[in-house]
Amino acid sequence: MQQGNFLFGASTSAHQVEGGNSNNDWWEWEKTRPKDFQSGRAADSWNRYREDIALAKKLGHTAHRLSLEWSRIETQEGRFNSVAIARYREILQELQLAGIKTFVTLHHFTNPIWLARGRLPAGRQGWESKKTPELFARYVKYVAQELGDLVDFWITINEPMVYASQSFVRGVWPPQKKNIFAMVRVIRNMARAHRLAYKVLHKANPRIPIGFAKHLIAYTPESKTKLTDRIGVALYDWFFNHMFFLLIRNKQDFIGVNYYFARTLRVRMFPFSISEVLLDVPKTDLGWPIYAKGLMQTLLHMKQYKKPIYITENGLADAADSKRADFIRSHIRAIEAAQKQGCDVRGYLHWSLIDNFEWAEGFVPRFGLIEIDYATQKRTIRPSAYVYKAIIEQSKGV
Ligand code: FCB
C-alpha cells in the first residue's frame, strides 16, 4: 500500500446495529414480517458501543464509519432530541479517544415515520416529496452544529440509486412501490438533498471533507467483441454508476465507493433483452460473485472525477469465515493495483465491523469481522479479522 496514512477500518449503519430504532419506516414495515426479519435489538450497539469501539481499536483500525439515525434525532418534524445527540457525542468522543477517524453518514436507507408517512406539500410522502431535500438540509444543519467538532468526514447519503430502486421500482423495501416515475422523483430529490447538505455542511465546518457513498457495480460484457453486449454495459454503467455524479454536479470533496460485485451482461436483439450471466467464480453466502478485479475496474472509472477516493464499504456474507481473509487480501491488492495506475485511494472500510441486521434478508447473512451471538449479544472476533489486522500493521511498517 502506498503511503503511511492510508486509513483502515470498518463500517456500520445505525438501523443495522443500534437496535430499538422504533421511530422509522423500516421498523413499521418489519412489524408486518416474520420475527427473524425484525431488527429488534439488532446488535445492541446503542448500548454496547464502548465494547465495539474497543474491539475496533484492538484490531488496529484507524477509521470507522457509522450512521446517525434521523428518526432518533428529529423525532417529530422540527422537534430535535438532545438526549439522542448526547449519545452520539459520546460515541464519537469514544472513537476520538481511541484514535479512530470518523466517517459519519447522515442518511442510510431509513426515514423518520413522520417523513415517510406524513403528507408533505405536493401530496407526496418521503423522498418523493419536493419538500424532503429542505427537511433533510435542516436536520443536517442541526447535526453539523451539534456534532461537527467530532467528525472527520461527512457522508451525506448512502447508496441513493440502491435506495431508489429497491424501494420504488423493485418494491422489496419500504414503501414497496413499483413505479419508475416515483424512482426518478426520488433520485432527483436525493441529488438535490445532497447538494443542499453539501452547502450547509461546508458553511458549518469548512475543514471537513464531504462525499456520498456510491454503490458501484463492475459491469462487464459477456463477449468483449459483441457490440450489443458492450452497448448494454455502457448503458447500465452510465445509469447506475455515473448518473448520480452528474446530478450532484461534482459537489463532493471525495468519492465514497461501496463495492461488492461485478455483473456480466448478455444482450439479445430479437426479441430485445438484457440478462445477467452468472460468473464461474466463488460466491458469498448471499450468492454474490467474488470478483476483486472489479474493484480495480470501478476505481479506475472513478479517476475521471478527480477526487480522493475512500472505499466506504466492501465485504461479504460468510458465516463460516472461510472466504473473508482471502476476500480482504484480494480486494486490497486490487486497490494497490489501482493506485499504481494513478488512482488516489486513501482508505478502506470493510463492511462490516460486526454482524448486523441485513435489511430485507434479516439476521442470517453474516458480514461481521466480529460475530454476534444474538441470544446473548456476545461478541467474538473472527479469525479473518486478525488477518486484516496483520495487513494494517504491515502497511504501517510495524
Ligand atoms: C450495502 C448497504 C449496507 C449493507 C451492505 C451489505 O448495499 O449499504 O447497509 O447492507 O450492502
pLDDT of 79-91, one tens digit each?
999 999 999 999 9
The Å distance, Cα 260 to ligand 1 centre, comes to: 9
Joined together, the cell numbers standing for residue 315 give: 465485504
User: Pocket around ligand 1: residues whose beta carbon is below 6 Å from it?
Assistant: 13, 16, 158-159, 162, 215, 258, 313, 351, 358-359, 367
pLDDT of 331-381, one tens digit each?
999 999 999 999 999 999 999 999 999 999 999 999 999 999 999 999 999
The Å distance, Cα 286 to ligand 1 centre, comes to: 12
C-alpha to C-alpha distance for 129 and 110, rounded to whole angstroms: 16
The Å distance, Cα 233 to ligand 1 centre, comes to: 23
- Please give the sequence-ordered ranges of beta strands (E in DSSP) within the chain, or none if there are none: 7-11, 63-67, 74-76, 79-80, 101-107, 153-158, 210-221, 255-268, 273-277, 309-313, 345-351, 370-373, 378-381
Are 16 and 358 a contacting pair, CB within 8 Å? yes
Give the residues of the chain that fall short of pLDDT 50: 2, 398
Are 288 and 318 a contacting pair, CB within 8 Å? no
Bridge partners of 125, per DSSP, are none
* Minimum CA distance residue for ligand 1 atom 10: 358
* pTM of the predicted structure, to 2 decimals: 0.97
The Å distance, Cα 297 to ligand 1 centre, comes to: 20
**At 39, which amino acid appears?**
S
- Which of 109, 358, 364 is the pocket-test mutation for ligand 1 (most atoms within 8 Å of CB)? 358
What pLDDT, on a 0 to 100 scale, did the predictor assign at position 250? 85
The Å distance, Cα 225 to ligand 1 centre, comes to: 34
Query: H or E segment at 167?
Result: helix 160-168
Atom of ligand 1 nearest to the CA of 365: 6
What pLDDT, on a 0 to 100 scale, did the predictor assign at position 48? 98
What pLDDT, on a 0 to 100 scale, did the predictor assign at position 162? 98
What pLDDT, on a 0 to 100 scale, did the predictor assign at position 50? 98
Are 124 and 28 a contacting pair, CB within 8 Å? no
Domains of the chain: 7-213+246-258+291-395 (3.20.20.80)
C-alpha to C-alpha distance for 311 and 10, rounded to whole angstroms: 10
